[in-house]
Amino acid sequence: MTNDSKTITVGVLALQGAFIEHIHMLKRIPKVKDVIPVKTEEQLNSVDCLIIPGGESTSMALIAERCNMLEPIRAFVQKKPTWGTCAGMIMLAKEATGAKKGGQQLFNALDVVVNRNQFGSQKESFQTMLHLPEILGEEPFAAVFIRAPVIAEIKSPKVKVVGRLEQKHGQTEAETAVAVLQDHLFATAFHPELTNDLRLHEFFVDMAVKYL
Ligand code: GLN
């Protein structure tokens, strides 16, 4: 079978946050055979790839720890295609600044330092047009940032920046990295599941199909 005709099972981590919205987006993509909300190790083992949604990364880490999911997810994200959006991007990183006192547990895969709550509080949320030419061509994407993080530092040449802010927002400079790829990992600081635009979900599904 060629990759074009393959279908996959996508997991959406459903411990906390905006997982329902991702599930609705994925159900619209023909290459997605099944979408599984993932809460247990057994469910995690049944999926080909995983989306870690936005939400609250400290809560997500605590719930993952209580459900004995920290280590299984850490092992999964080392080798299987995974996309982290917003809090999910924080969880995928190896390091986070602006974390709660005493630090927070992360899934430790992406070689970056993220800065949490880069733009301030909820009322500093915004929507902006971004170009992601390597993955979406010319057509910009309407990116929704809600108490969003940014990529503050890149720690490995394997990390490729595929999206940057195009304007200054508050204290945050234009050109700040907000979307990256690293081998089988994809991370966006914004929430593509809160738009009607399927293109980033389709991109991730195609990327995951290549890893089957
Ligand atoms: N500020 C949240 C955190 O630090 C992320 C917000 C979001 O996912 N929209 O986890």
**CA 146, CA 124: separation in Å to the nearest integer?**
8
Confidence at residue 3, expressed as pLDDT on a 0 to 100 scale:
63
Residues 176-198, mean pLDDT to the nearest whole number: 97
Q: Is 193 a catalytic residue?
A: yes
- Is the pLDDT at 73 greater than 90, yes or no? yes
Quote the mean pLDDT of the chain: 95
Confidence at residue 124, expressed as pLDDT on a 0 to 100 scale:
83
Residue keyed to tokens 């902006």: 128
Residues 177-188, mean pLDDT to the nearest whole number: 98
**Domain enclosing residue 181, as ranges:** 3-210
**CA 8, CA 17: separation in Å to the nearest integer?**
23
**CA 49, CA 53: separation in Å to the nearest integer?**
13
Between the CA of 131 and the centroid of ligand 1 the distance, in Å, is 22
β-strands 160-164, 150-154: how paired?
A: unpaired
Q: What is the DSSP letter of 28?
A: T
pLDDT in tens, 80-121: 999 999 999 999 999 999 877 778 899 999 999 999 999 988
Between the CA of 2 and the centroid of ligand 1 the distance, in Å, is 38
Q: What is the DSSP letter of 16?
A: S
Share of the chain above pLDDT 70, in %: 98
Domain tally, the chain: 1
Residues 155-176, mean pLDDT to the nearest whole number: 96
pLDDT in tens, 2-58: 666 899 999 999 999 999 999 999 999 999 999 999 999 999 999 999 999 999 999
Residues 178-197, mean pLDDT to the nearest whole number: 97
Atom of ligand 1 nearest to the CA of 56: 10
Q: Tokens for 92? A: 């995928």
Atom of ligand 1 nearest to the CA of 53: 8
CATH number at residue 16: 3.40.50.880
